[in-house]
Structure formats: C-alpha cells, structure tokens
Amino acid sequence: MKAMILAAGLGTRLRPLTNAIPKPLLPVGGTPLIVWNLLLLKRHGFHDVVINLHHLGPMIEQAVGNGSQFGLRIIYSREPMILGTGGGIKEAEPYFSGEPVLVLNGDTLVELDLGALCAFHRTRLAAATLVLREDPEAARWGLVEVGADERIVRITGKGLASASPTTPRMFAGIHILNPRLLRDVPKGVASSIIDSYVAAIERGEAVLGYDLRGYWSDIGTAEGYAQAEHDARAGLIRLEDRRLTGDRTL
C-alpha cells in the first residue's frame, strides 16, 4: 500500500509564520512536521509516499528530496492551483496503481499503529476507513456519527437517515480509501474527499471508523503549535521512537 501526505495547504491560520515557510516544514522539537510523518510511515513498513504541493512547494521538495534519507521513495504531485482534499487526491490517483492508499495530513502529529489500521481496513473489506477520535467538541471539528459494526452513518449531518443510536466522533485526518471512490471526483477541480465518503455511505458501502487512542495534535493554530512543542518537550510524543526499524511490507 502506498501513502499520501497532504502538504499543499496555505496555512492561513498560522500566518505570519506560514508566509515564509509552508506549514509542513514548521519544526516541532526541532524536526519539521512532515518529517515526523515520514518517519511514522517508515516505522510501519511503508516505502512509497506521494506528497502534493502548492504553497511554497519547492521548499518542501528541497527539504525532503526523493526520500532516500528516510529510507523511502517520494514522488510529488504538484498543484498549480490548490485542489483541496478531494481534488488533490484525485490528481495523485495515477500514482496509486489502483490500490488502496493511506492518506495523512501534513500538519498533524499522531501516534498510531498504521499496520493495525491497514489490517482492519483489509479484513473488513472497507471502501474507506477513517481514523476517528473521541472528543467533547467533536461537533466543532465536524461531527462523525458511528453506528453498529464501526460503520459511519453520517458526516456533518450528511449520510443516512437513521433513528438508531450512534457514537459521536471527530475525524483525525488519517484515512484509507479505495481508489474507486475517486471515480466521480472531477479532475482539476477543488473539492473535499468527505463528499465522496458521504456519497459512498448513501450507496450503502462500508465506510468505517477506526478509533485512535494514542497521541494526536492538529497544528492548525498558534495555540495548537505551541501545545505540540510543549508535548514534544514533555516526551508525550518521541521522534526517536519513529526511527525504530520495521520493514513489514504493507
């Protein structure tokens, strides 16, 4: 399975920091955010990574190169205009070779067993698997409602009408999708991948939720960035752990 890191965003909520440096290159504990995620992928046996670029993209490409310094093979999907999560993944579709792809946000720090996530996705024959978190403010982030058998019923109120009890969750920005869900995503047009997931839910496909119980931090605001720095200094998340080898093929 290949992986994709979404790194094209403008980082508007972190301006003026992101006027001169793209958000994925902001350092946490002295190491760029995107490198934390590259090492996480390497730790769990990934070898091929696609990174999409737009805002200050050449800086990201110069910093991580072809991936050899991390034991990875990195290719780039360059976006002359920003395409969002749906359009960005669609643009990179030729690199996936028709296989499911793991997608991570380039501005998120997470501790997650990616091997277990991939095994869950395969075993359950899911069309898509979204990593979810329990959060008291899930509705503020975008409420994801999970029903029986980990099947997602609604995302931000869109999906299936059902009176059955659901569990509230928030989307952690990590997901696996089958490329068939990209068939109706227009190429070269900005869109959200969430629209494809809602459409799949409405068709009755298995769009599943996978609970994250480890560390997670969204570096979307100055407050979030400061908290991640504090957490790294406190040892709540450790870069050296990600340097552990593990050449399991996914």
Q: What is the pLDDT of residues 155-199, one digit of tens each?
A: 999 999 877 889 999 999 999 999 999 999 999 999 999 999 999
Q: Tell me, what's the pLDDT at 182?
A: 95
Half-sphere exposure of 41 (CA within 13 A, CB side): 30
Please report whether residue 201 resides in a domain: yes
DSSP string, 48-100: EEEEEE-TTHHHHHHHHTTSGGGT-EEEEEE-SS--HHHHHHHHHGGGGTTS-
Q: Which two tokens stand for residue 103?
A: 């997608």
The confidence score (pLDDT) of residue 242 equals 44
Q: For residue 90, what are the domain limits? A: 2-235
In a domain, 110, yes or no: yes
Binned at pLDDT 50, 70 and 90, residue 247 comes out as: very low
Helical axes 84-92 vs 193-202, angle rounded to 10°? 90
Instruction: Give me the pLDDT at residue 16, please.
Output: 65
Q: Report the number of distinct structural domains present in the chain.
A: 1
- How many whole angstroms separate alpha carbon 34 and alpha carbon 60? 9
Per the model's pLDDT, the better-predicted residue between 76 and 142 turns out to be 76
Q: What is the pLDDT of residue 34?
A: 92
Crossing angle between the packed helical segments 57-64 and 33-43, to the nearest 10 degrees: 50
Number of C-beta neighbours around residue 119 at 10 A = 12
Strand 31-32, strand 27-28: pairing: antiparallel
> Tokens at residue 92, please?
């990179």
Regarding predicted confidence, which is higher, 209 or 107? Answer: 209
Burial of residue 242 (number of CB atoms within 10 Å: 0-12, 13-18, 19+): buried
Within the chain, residue ranges assigned H as helices are 17-20, 33-43, 57-64, 84-92, 114-123, 138-141, 193-202, 222-233
pTM for the model stands at: 0.90
Percent of the chain at pLDDT > 90 equals 61
Q: What is each CA distance from 73 to 42, 56, 63, 100, in whole angstroms?
A: 10, 21, 14, 17
CATH of the domain at 80: 3.90.550.10
Lowest mean pLDDT among 29-33, 36-40, 217-221: 217-221
Spatial contact of 141 and 130, defined as CB atoms under 8 Å apart: no
> Tokens in use for 212?
């994250």
pLDDT at 235: 80
Residue 241 has pLDDT above 60, yes or no: no
240 assigned to some structural domain: no
pLDDT single digits (tens) 110-150: 999 999 999 999 999 999 999 999 988 787 778 999 998 99
- Position 49 in a domain: yes
Phi, psi of 48 (to 5 degrees): -115, 125
Question: Closest by alpha carbon to 144, among 162, 171, 164?
Answer: 171
CA distance 51 to 68: 14
Confidence class for position 14, pLDDT limits 50, 70, 90:
low
